[in-house]
Structure 1
């Protein structure tokens, strides 16, 4: 019974680690495109089609 509980706990841990990793990949697209997440008030940069974590920022290449 203890072994079954430990296997279940391990499964839960791996699913949490896996889901967090996939979420970060979405936001790392900006870095892969050669940009950085900047505030929307930044002028003089070209906006790239990638997502940033904050809705007040956009992916910007200087």
Structure 2
């Protein structure tokens, strides 16, 4: 019975630590221009004037 209780607690802990709904934070300003926020070291994309939340990313359209 104790093992079942411990497994139940483990399951509850795992459910609470998973990110909410699996959705990523998106930048609507960049998406309106048809781009996606990507790291600055990406090549072969067109940089758009919209700003991303992170300083290490820029709005990019592939």
Q: Normalized against structure 1, the TM-score is what?
A: 0.56
Stretches of 4+ aligned residues off by more than 2 angstroms: none
Higher helix share: 1
Q: Which residue of 1 aligns with 2:52?
A: 52
Tell me by how many angstroms 1:28 deviates: 1.4
State the Cα deviation string for residues 8-48 of structure 1 (Å, max 9, x = none): xxxxxxxxxxxxxxxxxxx4110000000000000000000
Q: Normalized against structure 2, the TM-score is what?
A: 0.56
Distance 2:28 2:56 in 1: 17
- The unaligned stretches of length 5 or more in structure 1 are 1-26
SS in 2 for 1:31: helix
RMSD: 0.7
- The unaligned stretches of length 5 or more in structure 2 are 1-26
